[in-house]
Amino acid sequence: MNNDLFADAARDVLADQCTPHVVRAIEAGGRTAEATTALWEQLEATGLADALLSEDDGGAGLGLGQVFGVLEQCGAHALPLPLGETMVARALLARAGVARPAGSITLARGERLADGGLRCALVRSGQVAGAVLVQTGTEWRLLGTGDAQGAAQALALDAALTWTAAQVQAAPAVEVNGALDARTLQAAVVAAQMAGALSSVFQRSLQYANERQQFGRPIGKFQAIQHQLAVMSEHVFAARMAAQLGCSGAGVLPDRLRVATAKARCSEAALVVAELAHAIHGAIGFTEEYDLQLFTRRLHAWRQTAGSEAYWYGVAGEALLDHPGMSLDIVRRITDVDAVL
């Protein structure tokens, strides 16, 4: 089965339904906005949200590697809804035999409070998701977002959410493989979306450099701009390769060391690419009206989601120090993957 078919389907839907106007409407209105409901209904109609479920559960039985292109397209269109996280969460719920709620689901790590409540300091897409699959230690709970006490985060779509003890006790517990952790799952999904957003920022910068005239010729003809574009392209394509590695593997069980490589490389690229893109645009990309900021704001927020490059380089470094053999064996373990067919 050709995974490009799924990426093409996602590209067609998002190009038509997830326009910059819709993205701004959802950022302004949150989960109750008409644009939020309308876009999610369009995504549900594609069947992509259930793609990681087995065929017996009504899905397509795909793995993370086979939907990498879909996740990449989510980032390339600045999708303001957690489609990737919903795909993973629904697969985990189906495996645990827990009924899947309607609407989108995001992933988060939380901490239990002294009174029995639960708090998540950062819930990505917490302002628009319908539910959150929360990990606290070895316990996973599916909690609704509508009744949670929320506080804003840096990105308009994110939130800090708190549930009372009664709400936590009423929420279904989800039995999840003990080897899984929410941070690794989310990092794999976010890295793939970052790869798409990085590519979109690069393409927009390249187009601007070829169209913007100064002293009678496109600014892309100046050596300084060419150098900036070359540096951007190196980061964009290296990040994409790393993000593909992060999604490789069977089912929805990514390899933690490959995810470390993916998230660290994408987060490192986010800073450089965003900075160079705004420099090439002469800083006009910071303005609210210009679409570039929709992507660079996400890159800065996603850089910190599920751990920045500092955290994941630390994970990779610990694996290298603990490895008794040659360092090259670690590299082979990360990069030797089967091609996704």
pTM for the whole structure: 0.94
pLDDT digits over 232-245, tens only? 999 999 999 999 99
Which is nearest to 232 in space by CA: 258, 286, 270?
A: 270
Identity of the residue numbered 143: L
User: Given this model, what pLDDT does residue 19 score?
Assistant: 97
- Token digits of residue 286: 């910071």
pLDDT digits over 3-34, tens only? 588 999 999 999 999 999 999 999 999 999 99
Which is nearest to 133 in space by CA: 176, 77, 81?
A: 176
Contact 335, 245 (CB under 8 A): yes
Bin 249: left if φ > 0, else alpha if -120 < ψ < 50, else beta: left
User: Given this model, what pLDDT does residue 341 score?
Assistant: 42
CA dihedral 233, 239, 242, 244 (to 10 degrees): -90
User: Given this model, what pLDDT does residue 1 score?
Assistant: 45
Identity of the residue numbered 206: L
pLDDT digits over 265-319, tens only? 999 999 999 999 999 999 887 788 999 999 999 999 999 999 999 999 999 999 9
Identity of the residue numbered 302: W
| Alpha-carbon separation of residue 224 from 230, 234, 273 (angstroms) | 10, 16, 15
User: Given this model, what pLDDT does residue 283 score?
Assistant: 81
Write out residues in the chain with pLDDT < 70, as ranges: 1-3, 338-341
Overall residue count recorded for the chain in this entry: 341
Identity of the residue numbered 44: E
* C-alpha triplet 155, 157, 159: angle, nearest 5°: 80
How do the domains of the chain map onto residue ranges?
A: 3-170, 182-335
User: Given this model, what pLDDT does residue 337 score?
Assistant: 79
CB atoms within 10 A of CB 330: 16
CB atoms within 10 A of CB 223: 7
Report, in this order, helix, strand and coil percent for the chain, each rounded to 5: 60, 10, 30
User: Given this model, what pLDDT does residue 190 score?
Assistant: 98
Q: Could you please state the CATH topology (level 3) that the domain comprising 182-335 is classified under.
A: Butyryl-CoA Dehydrogenase, subunit A; domain 3 (1.20.140)
Instruction: Look up residue 49 and give its DSSP letter.
Output: G
